[in-house]
Amino acid sequence: MQRYEGLVEKRIFSLPSHTAVNGRTIKDVKIGWESYGQLNDARDNVILVPHHYSSNSHAAGRYKDSDPLPGYWDSIIGPGKPLDTDRFFVMSVDSLVNMNSKDGITVTTGPASIDADTGKPYGMQFPVVTIRDFVRVQKALIDSLGIQQIHACVGVSMGALQSYEWAAAYPELVKRVVAINGSPAQRPFALCNLDKWVAPIRLDPNWKQGDYYGGSEPIEGLTQAFCNVLIDAWHPQAIAATYQHQWAVAENNPLHSQENDFLVNQSFRAVGLARATCTTDANNMLYMTRANQLFIAGTPGSSVDAELKNIRADVLVIQAWSDLLFPIADARMQVEKLLANGTRAEFRELDSAAGHIGGVTEVAKEGEAIRRFLNS
């Protein structure tokens, strides 16, 4: 097999059916996945990189040399990089209900998929799924590859949530967790804050209770939903540093008309519109959001402390001080709880002023700490 040198391809994993945590069955599950590096003969050099909320399994590399940007964590995944593809078999899997189902690359099963029983998209008839469902589907893929040990799960944001879930669900399999800007449980505030993000989708008349397939999509609602995500994922000071009080158009003072806007809003809307138009299915975003709201808290009979007690893996927690979605004080407390449970755990502060998103854009600042931990 060839050494990984930056070119990747999406592969597809199929499952005849998956029974969700809530008991409902999803038939004909298909998800995409990517890998960087080679699986060794012992099949014990696997690093799993679950992705964050708005992302997919494109963690590193390019599909073709002309791609303008590589995967989101290319700074730490590759030959000689902290997640060293000369040594590790790094893999990433598209989640169920992945919101990027329109991008032509992501492979997922969710509300936008065709229900074989009706020949039409599921829409809001799709079963509610959880992050544990994401992990169970990944586990089926891992099993199909004959992998019985995971050297590490490494993820940012919802990728960190999935990494904790992996370690709690399959403690015998997972040897290490690197959780960046995440948490082993969604805090109660997130229930309303995540609802706030996607509420504009439901307000868009084109959403039609999720029954928009074949017609106009709720693009305006989706656009605003992405604006909401951006506003919360950036630190307020990072937004200020980038946009100050600038107007969208220099001669159009917002003092003179409600139509004249500020640059920050115009910019965020442009990003949101691009995502809404080219990549994102609205119903999938609603389902992805619910999965995040339910994380641990919504799983009957579970509790954060019980989940943490299940974990046998060594844990490296890396947390940006500027992250307002997963506060650093909470992350420190998680490490204390893990240590109290007898788990080996380490805390490191990510020196990023960017906010939550710093775990994606500035992760390389902790690259050497991640390398050391993976080699320990």
Residues at the contact surface with a second copy, assessed by CB under 8 A: 21-22, 124, 128, 130, 187-189, 191-193, 195-196, 199-200, 203-205, 220-221, 224, 227-228, 231, 236-237, 239-240, 243-245, 253-258, 261-262, 264-265, 268, 286-287, 290, 293-294, 297-300, 324, 327
Q: How far apart are CA 209 and CA 124, in angstroms?
A: 7
CB-neighbour burial class of residue 152 (10 A; exposed 0-12, middle 13-18, buried 19+): buried
Q: How far apart are CA 17 and CA 271, in angstroms?
A: 36
Long-range contacts of 121-126, Cβ-Cβ distance < 8 Å, separation of 24 or more:
121/213, 123/209, 123/210, 123/211, 123/213, 123/283, 124/209, 124/210, 124/211, 124/283, 124/286, 126/26, 126/97, 126/283, 126/287
Q: Is 113 a catalytic residue?
A: no
Q: Which residue, 156 or 288, is less far from a second copy as judged by CB?
A: 288
Q: How far apart are CA 73 and CA 310, in angstroms?
A: 28
- Give least dist CB 255 to a second copy, A: 5
Q: Is 356 a catalytic residue?
A: yes
Given the residues 54, 95, 157, 322, select the one marked as catalytic: 157
- Give least dist CB 204 to a second copy, A: 6
Q: Which residue, 128 or 145, is less far from a second copy as judged by CB?
A: 128
- Give least dist CB 34 to a second copy, A: 30
Q: Which residue, 240 or 306, is less far from a second copy as judged by CB?
A: 240
Q: Which residue, 53 or 122, is less far from a second copy as judged by CB?
A: 122
**Amino acid of residue 253:** N
Both tokens assigned to 244: 């100050």
Q: Is 302 a catalytic residue?
A: no
- Among residues 149, 117, 143, the alpha carbon closest in space to that of 42 is found at 149
Both tokens assigned to 60: 């590193």
Given the residues 74, 94, 281, 323, select the one marked as catalytic: 323
- Give least dist CB 236 to a second copy, A: 4
Which residue carries 């992501």 as its tokens?
106
- Give least dist CB 369 to a second copy, A: 28
Q: Which residue, 144 or 244, is less far from a second copy as judged by CB?
A: 244
Catalytic residues: 157, 323, 356
